[in-house]
Amino acid sequence: MMPTRMLDRGAILFLLLLGAIAVLVPLSNLYLPPSSPYHMSTYVIAVFGKYLCYALLALSIDLIWGYCGILSLGHGAFFALGGYAMGMYLMRQIGTRGVYGNPVLPDFMVFLNWDKLPFYWYGFDWFAYAVLMVVLVPGALAFVFGWFAFRSRVTGVYLSIITQALTFALMLGFFRNNFGFGGNNGLTDFKDILGFNIQAQGTRDALFAISAVALMIGFVICRVIVTSKLGKVLIAIRDAENRTRFLGYRVEAYKLFVFTLSACMAGVAGALYVLQVGIINPGEFSPANSIEAVIWVAVGGRGTLTGAVLGALLVNYGKTYFTTGFLAPYWLFVLGGMFVAVTLLLPRGIVGTIRHGFASLRARKAAARDDDANRPTIPDAAPRPAE
């Protein structure tokens, strides 16, 4: 049985809220009439399903940055690789329904006069293999990258720069047509998944619910880690890496483990994102996307888990709101201003500031109770003798 300290009251309430959303939102779309004020349109389902994928990505970044001090500015690479792995499976499911009707080659390969399917596309006919690649490919890249980076003791801003260089190099590579991933256009025009029409209302509702469940599982995994002895070592590495190393801990092994796990979570988020958005292209590798994901975590609260989720939801909702009207040209200014404001006024983020405020309030109340308990009592005056 999971110790209660791993899932406190706040964490349990958060999971219950996500569970309720996973059930009630799809039901409102399927069974409530459009005239009902509680009806959720299919468009809203798709948009908020995308937000849940972003929240899982933010959670993966918070795990390494908030609790281990690893600031990755290239986590969008793992997100995109997971998306491409799922996109390759979806492309293989099109078959003869493509524009050129080729039963083996995707349309972009026929257009580029490819005569056979590249070997790294083998196996993507099967959903189980695609799911394995969604986790394995980002995890393997993170493991290899982390093995060299952490053993070389690259930390701080230098690590952030090389993670950004990694995702930029991948973006340039995937833009090339001879990579076999669709070049500039990427992978799109998906038809179905496991025999279900990917555009159908019921499928979109199911994908929304699956995204919410994946976020719940990711949250539980992160919560179990950060509240365990492993989590205490990660926090020690974040606060004093050299001192932790001198105490005998293999700092590189801890950082490599959490970095690889975080990349796997980002890959799952990318796969679910592609299923709901319907396209994956090299633009997802853009370093700007990774930096924006870091801003989500900073706004919500670094090192809080729930804050990372809240930050992803709030910032992306604001992005949708500000980029659909006359304010669209100013969105980047709003985003930059938000980051500066949070850094100067709320360095702990939204959730971190709230938690700090409650902790300070409890500390003051406890100090007041201690003062009352330690205050000397004045004995009552003795009664006057009878005259």
* Per-residue pLDDT reduced to its tens digit, 161-211: 999 999 999 999 999 988 899 989 999 989 999 989 998 999 999 999 999
Residue 301 backbone zone (phi > 0: left; psi -120 to 50: alpha; other: beta): left
Contact of 212 with 51, CB cutoff 8 Å: no
Query: Strand, helix or coil at 122?
Result: coil
Please compute, for residue 197, the number of CA atoms within 13 A of its CA located in the half-sphere on the CB side. 5
To 10 degrees, the CA torsion angle through 372, 377, 380, 381? -140
Phi, psi (rounded to 5 degrees) for 198:
-70, -20
Please compute, for residue 128, the number of CA atoms within 13 A of its CA located in the half-sphere on the CB side. 0
For 33-51, the DSSP string reads -TTSTT---HHHHHHHHHH
Length reported for the chain: 387
Q: Which ranges of 279-345 would DSSP assign to H, the alpha helix?
A: 287-300, 306-322, 331-345
* Per-residue pLDDT reduced to its tens digit, 90-145: 999 998 888 888 888 999 999 888 889 999 999 999 999 999 999 999 999 999 99
To 10 degrees, the CA torsion angle through 302, 307, 308, 313? -140
Please, which residues bridge with residue 188 across strands?
279
Q: What is the value of pTM for the model shown? A: 0.91
DSSP state of 187: E
Nearest to 138 by CA among 101, 96, 167: 167
**Residue 381's pLDDT is what?**
52
Token pair of 223 as six digits = 């919560």
Phi, psi (rounded to 5 degrees) for 181:
-125, 25
Residue segments in the chain with a per-residue pLDDT below the cut of 70: 1-5, 372, 375-387
What is the gyration radius of the CA atoms in the chain, in angstroms?
25
Query: Strand, helix or coil at 31?
Result: helix
Nearest to 83 by CA among 64, 59, 56, 65: 56
